[in-house]
Structure 1
């Protein structure tokens, strides 16, 4: 199917509790608004609290279900931080119906020969370690859902290595493997795991990666939401261990 042409019903995510990492900007922000407008209670994660508060108010003003805010520094989160996160979500909601692992950092666009080790560690911490640990920690809450969907953010450079994409490319290739392993090893048929590659999208990260590119030639985060809605809603119940392109 053409995911870009998917037309979700208005109440697709009614009564769903969905955690979105990196919700303060770009694709994460668009997903938070889109999921909320389709009936979900969105749990907003991000590094910048004031941006999350602005988004929170925007979602409320649209008449969508009241969201929640969950600040957590993914690059340095300790096991205790993740335990507290689990306890907070369990106490407040009792279950989790979805996670969109959207948070990510670009790192350096340079050859591995010159790649700064501290930047490598930061990229791996946010793009790979955090989604793995977050999924592992929150699985018991996902298992309490009737149908839960975990969506990992992939990339074109996560399918095929591209020069000078360094840690970002390696982290995205690895996250495809993490998603597939969770899917293949999964003992709970009510939980599914998939990847989505947004493609070239008008975001701050894209502008940093391609400073000479005209952003007006790119898809907006809002325009790629059909694929994100598809993976989170009931129409993709049959899908696990797949990796899709949002603009196809």
Structure 2
């Protein structure tokens, strides 16, 4: 298999692929969206902040990429009707979905279990586990219409190296990886469908700052530096890669 970390995509590696990226308004999601569009993808930008999404939109258009779409949705508050409207909009505009990147997530509290706020725990689990489940379930009919569909979850180093005080974030990432493995096996009768997870590693993002406020950020890579692995897994060059967690660094 090609090493995803050193993957060098061709200019049109993602040409005409419709890819929905959650959490695309900032950080890794923004960087992947811009990189995917630069390689020909028709990107669908999800996030809560419309102003930030419009900024990503403008960046892609100014660089000559395919004109993206914007789908604002707050996973904390969204109910079944909002997901149905999202899928209906995708169906009407594109008729299919070639890639789904679950990038949006919430850090939650880093504290001993006995001190955790129950409501905050529930919100983190909902955004990091329930929302990707609901969105995947809702988008599966559109993904099955693609000749080469991809579902990509976001993992974390805390999955392979669990540690104290990481609370709902750690538990949610274990659950997300479990969902990935389960779904990969459930879709074995769909040989074109690929389901994997990607671990971005330490990157200079706002969430990383929340988790490690005293860290020397000058030693962290920018989000743009790790997009190669994402482009590999979201594109046709990753055919045959299934049910794996891939490190972006």
TM-score (norm 2): 0.97
**Is 2:155 the counterpart of 1:158?**
no
Q: Does 1:190 align with 2:192?
A: yes
Equivalent pairs, count: 247
Alpha-carbon distance between aligned partners in 2 of 1:135 and 1:72, rounded to the nearest angstrom: 15
Q: Distance in 1 between matches of 2:36 and 2:181?
A: 24
Q: Is the 8 A contact 1:159 1:173 kept in 2?
A: no
- The residue that corresponds to 1:85 in the other structure is 86
Q: Quote the residue 2:100 is aligned against.
A: 99
1:228 aligns with 2:230: yes
Q: Give the secondary-structure state (helix, strand or coil) at the position aligned to 1:119.
A: helix
Tell me whether 1:7 sits opposite 2:5 in the alignment: no
Aligned to 2:124: 123
CA distance in 2, matches of 1:183, 1:109: 30
- Do structure 1's residue 237 and structure 2's residue 203 form an aligned pair? no
- Per-residue CA shift, 1:79-100, capped at 9, x if unaligned? 1111111111000100000011
Structure 2 unaligned spans of 5+: none
Mapped to 2, the partners of 1:154 and 1:102 lie a distance apart of 9
Contact 1:17/1:42 (CA < 8 Å) preserved in 2?
Answer: yes
> Cα RMSD between the aligned structures?
0.8
Unaligned 5+ segments in structure 1 are none
Question: 1:213 aligned to 2:211?
Answer: no
Instruction: State the match for 1:23 in structure 2.
Output: 24
Match of 1:178 in 2: 179
Runs of 4+ in 1 over 3 A off after TM superposition: none
Provide Cα deviations, 1:153-200, integer angstroms capped at 9, x if missing partner. Answer: 000112332111000000000100000111001132221100000001
TM-score by length of structure 1 reads 0.98
SS in 2 for 1:75: coil
